[in-house]
Homo-oligomer: A and B are copies of this chain.
Amino acid sequence: MAKDDDTAFDQAGFDEALRRRARMVEAVLRQVLEQRPLAGEIARPQRLIAAMQHGVLAGGKRLRPFLVMESAALFSADGEAAARVAAALECVHCYSLIHDDLPAMDDDDLRRGQPTVHKAYDEATAILAGDALLTLAFDIVADEATQLAAERRAALVLALARAAGAGGMAGGQMLDLQAADAPPDEAGIIRLQAMKTGALIRFACEAGAIVAGAPAAERERLAEFGSAIGLAFQLADDLLDLTADAGTMGKATGKDAAAGKATLAALHGEDWARRQLAGLVAQARALLEPYGAHAAMLADAASFVAARNK
């Protein structure tokens, strides 16, 4: 892919930073997903915990956790607290994948080249594993072990719930299901994507500011950055779906188009989408200018989501 100034960045250095953050978050995820019950729990059925682990620990770029941790680092927040919030967000992301993959939803058998949870276990177990992961996310954030003042833990629970619920991700999934019967117009597509994929990415960037107790204006700036890269993320995904072959994806491609799903890239064409993508990256980077070199890694995340090819 041709790169202009705004999308050029040190991909290898970024990938290494992404992997480093991923290892920290995965350590938290493994710890909260041990079979030993937490205080106040009765017992954790082995099959349910195994299905949750399958859904959460089977890889992935851990982009959302990375955004939480980098935005927290921007404000010099405690890294361990940020890693726990990042792990909670990943639980929400993975629960949504488990439920989206169900036969009644997108009916996918493979995810990252592995059997989806309902294929590796069964449908009922997959429903429960998703439910339990969503619940665990709020557990992780609210727990005193997160080492944040209660005010910040409560604010994080609220912001995460708003991003994930009926007016955010879950609502976006509902709109996506309805889009199969009644293709949305451009405004409808934008709303659907802002909810289905945008809300959690926006939360990821905002969360770091909440963890750090940053002023409201900073929190809003990071949230706007999150919205911009959320749009870029979706546009890159749409472009990939328009152009990539199945081999590099690990899942069926051209699927959105085959299902008649409207995307902005399909609506306006590849050239428009690439220009739009470059504009979003520039806009996202500009939002971080006040932070100078401290925000270099976060700024590169904008280029990363635009340039990703898998």
Contacts and interface: CB of A to CB of B under 8 A. Distances in A.
Nearest to A163: B40
Number of copies: 2
10 contacts: A39-B162, A41-B171, A42-B167, A42-B199, A44-B166, A102-B127, A128-B173, A132-B166, A134-B135, A154-B154
Interface string A104-132: 11000000000000000011110110111
Interface stretch (A174-182, A232-240, A242-250, A260-268): A174-182
Interface stretch (A16-24, A137-145, A296-304): A137-145
**Which 5 residue pairs of A and B lie closest in terms of their CB atoms, listed nearest first?**
A41-B167, A104-B123, A139-B161, A135-B165, A142-B157
Contacts of A170: 48, 128, 131-132, 135
Contacts of A49: 166
A25 to B, nearest CB: 19
| A interface, over-half SS | helix
Interface of A: 37-45, 47-49, 52, 95, 99, 102, 104-105, 122-125, 127-128, 130-132, 134-136, 138-139, 141-144, 149-151, 153-155, 157-168, 170-175, 177-178, 191, 194-195, 199
Contact of A168 (B42, B102, B175, B194): B42
Given A42-B171, A43-B191, A166 B127 contact: no
A282 B158 CA distance: 40
Contacts of A155: 142, 150
A48 B167 CA distance: 10
A86 B105 CA distance: 31
Given A104-B124, A124-B177, A52 B166 contact: yes
A171 B139 contact: no
Contacts of A45: 166, 171, 174-175, 178
A178 B49 CA distance: 14
A11 B38 CA distance: 39
A174 B125 contact: yes
A118 to B, nearest CB: 8
A37 B167 contact: yes
A41 B168 contact: yes
